[in-house]
Amino acid sequence: MRTYLAILTTVTFLVPLLSTGEPPTDLLRSRELRSIISAAERSPALTEDSVLADIIRLQRDQGLTITWDEDGLSVVDFDHRSAIPRAKLPLLLSKMSGAVSLDGTQVAGYFRAGSTGPDFNLGIVRFDGSDPRGYPGIAPIDFCWSHDNASIALTNSKGKRTASLEVVNVATKATQLIQANVEERWHFTSQCWSPDDKQIVFENGGTTQIYDLVSGKIRDLVNGRNPTWSPDGQWIAFFDHDTYYAIRPNGLGKKKLFHKKNAASGLFWSPDSQIVAYVSLAGILEAGVSLDVESYRLRVRRLIDNSEDWVASGVSCCINYQWVKNPELLKYIKTVDGTK
């Protein structure tokens, strides 16, 4: 409905101006048009049963939010549909992205071992900046926290475009090899562990695979990218050709969730596995008629009825987002930001 309103408003504004012969490029850059479209996009009628109303209530009552680490720690204020940036974290390098644990208490990112060292090493710190820990010799490309915060699955860069998939024990710093000699790129999303922390899902060469920590074996699950394991353990979501799917961990029951052109991330599951978040390119109207700059929006969708809305604009496409229920995290970020 909001998109139709924006289109109607835009047409109403454009028709009389086009009759004057003003060049279209000038029209698209006009401040007045941007203001009208922006207002139309930001002020929909909020129904009580919409997914946005649902997560606003959950944020107020339970401290639910979506958080990420990119040059500092950010959370989403659902009521204002905006990100509250960015609590700077000690130890972790700026202008880099990490991953927040599923309970919102820990952040994994990068630190430099030594003042002149060239390597980016694994670093961990609590959300409030306390308890910083460094892991020299582990050069992560991605991160995925286990549910109990005891382990992190990651792609460990070995240089010369090679890497290995490993599990790091947070307490002892010991590592367990999953697979050696893989491509030096992302393999894990932020929701890769089974609920019992005994299996890990990841993507390798366009195939979604599952690693069993007990047997040490890897099995193919399905062709697809950016896999995420639902918190209830029932589904693994993945992305393939502009479409999101879900499949049972045993490889049965594959089903289409929804099609989304210009989607740019995996699906990130809410704690109750009922709502998913993802990132996609903003449309022309959503981006404020910016034709030369890519703009991304963080969106949420309730799977039972496909109620969908956006919750933050101007976000990054290719980082790890995490749903958490943590009132203390919200309070801390708002205090640092000065919004409370």
How do residues 67-106 score in pLDDT, each as one tens digit? Answer: 999 988 999 999 999 999 777 898 898 888 999 999 999 9
| Centroid of chain to Cα 18 | 41
The C-alpha atoms of residue 155 and residue 268 are separated, in whole angstroms, by 20
Q: Are 235 and 247 in contact (CB under 8 A)?
A: yes
Cβ neighbors of 141 (< 8 A, separation 6 or more) are 154, 155, 156, 157, 163, 184, 185, 186, 187
Instruction: Quote the pLDDT of residue 237.
Output: 98
| Residue at 49: amino acid letter | D
The C-alpha atoms of residue 23 and residue 20 are separated, in whole angstroms, by 9
pLDDT at 309 over 80: yes
Instruction: Quote the pLDDT of residue 227.
Output: 98
Mean pLDDT of 167-193: 95
Mean pLDDT of 300-312: 97
Mean pLDDT of 213-230: 97
Which stretches within the chain are classed as H helix? 2-18, 24-28, 31-42, 51-62, 327-337
pLDDT at 250 over 70: yes
Instruction: Quote the pLDDT of residue 25.
Output: 44
Q: Which residues pair with 212 in a beta bridge?
A: 199
pTM here is 0.84
pLDDT at 290 over 60: no
Beta strands 82-87 and 99-100 are unpaired
pLDDT at 12 over 50: no
Total H helices, total E strands in the chain: 5, 23
